[in-house]
């Protein structure tokens, strides 16, 4: 079953003024579509074609050398962007509540402490990559903040120094912000807090801590 580009769950302009409509349109319709297309090309005809991303990402080392890098970059890109769209929305921002808020306070001292750690991960990632909030241990619900280069995902076991179950990701590739923010990545990171859909992040958190697996993996 080939991967498909998921519809954006809101209009291109829904995140303005924080993320502009033109950036969202190019990002979803061109960049994400490209990852989906290239993932399907790489996997076509292989025994991994029907495996699904949640089988493929943790087991990249088992893929044939001939397709491993293309799969890493493009299945990674597909999964990363699908999560990214899901954790933003219009009229969002604010602070998390409930179990997720308690876990953030426990593991980062405060919500501000978390934001500071996340912004540091996002702004100090050299070149292209992602910043993540993830569940380090599903049974305890312990959280971590980290970053990956390129389209690497924290589910890529043995390939990244940031292994966890990601529940919130921020794309810090220049294509995610350059039209509006040019070189000012810290301004983009600050603006991101205004569009985070904490209810969606809390759903992803609950899915992991209840043993339901990672967002996008069914179950």
Binding site for Mn ion (CB under 5 A): 31, 171, 173
* Residue 214: CB minimum distance to Mn ion, A: 19
**Is the Cβ of residue 33 or residue 54 nearer to Mn ion in the bound state?**
33
* Residue 178: CB minimum distance to Mn ion, A: 11
**Is the Cβ of residue 85 or residue 173 nearer to Mn ion in the bound state?**
173
Cβ atoms of residues 76 and 153 within 8 Å: yes
Cβ atoms of residues 179 and 23 within 8 Å: yes
* Residue 111: CB minimum distance to Mn ion, A: 26
Ranked by CB distance to Mn ion, the top (closest) residue is 171
3-state secondary structure of 30: helix
**Is the Cβ of residue 114 or residue 173 nearer to Mn ion in the bound state?**
173
User: The tokens of 1 are what?
Assistant: 């079953």
* Residue 108: CB minimum distance to Mn ion, A: 26
CA angle centred on 193, ends 181 and 189, rounded to 5°:
35
Cβ atoms of residues 108 and 114 within 8 Å: yes
**Is the Cβ of residue 163 or residue 171 nearer to Mn ion in the bound state?**
171
Neighbouring-strand partners of residue 166: 134
């Amino acid at each position: 079953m080939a991967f498909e580009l998921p519809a954006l769950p809101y209009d291109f302009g829904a995140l303005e003024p924080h993320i502009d409509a033109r950036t969202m349109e190019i990002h979803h319709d061109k960049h994400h579509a490209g990852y989906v297309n290239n993932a399907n090309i790489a996997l076509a005809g292989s025994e991994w074609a029907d495996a699904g991303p949640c089988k493929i990402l943790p087991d990249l080392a088992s893929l044939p050398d001939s397709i491993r890098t293309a799969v890493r970059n493009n299945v990674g890109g597909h999964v990363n962007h699908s999560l990214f769209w899901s954790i933003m929305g219009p009229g969002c921002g604010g602070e998390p509540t409930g179990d997720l808020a308690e876990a953030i306070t426990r593991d980062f001292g405060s919500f501000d402490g978390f934001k500071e750690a996340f912004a540091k991960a996002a702004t100090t990632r050299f070149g292209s990559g992602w910043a993540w909030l993830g569940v380090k241990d599903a049974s305890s619900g312990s959280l971590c903040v980290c970053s990956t280069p390129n389209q690497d995902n924290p589910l890529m076991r043995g390939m990244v120094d940031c292994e966890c179950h990601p529940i919130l990701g921020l794309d810090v590739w220049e294509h995610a912000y350059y039209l509006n923010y040019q070189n000012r990545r810290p301004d983009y990171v600050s603006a991101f807090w205004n569009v985070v859909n904490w209810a969606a992040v809390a759903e992803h958190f609950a899915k992991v801590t209840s043993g339901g697996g990672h967002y996008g993996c069914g179950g």
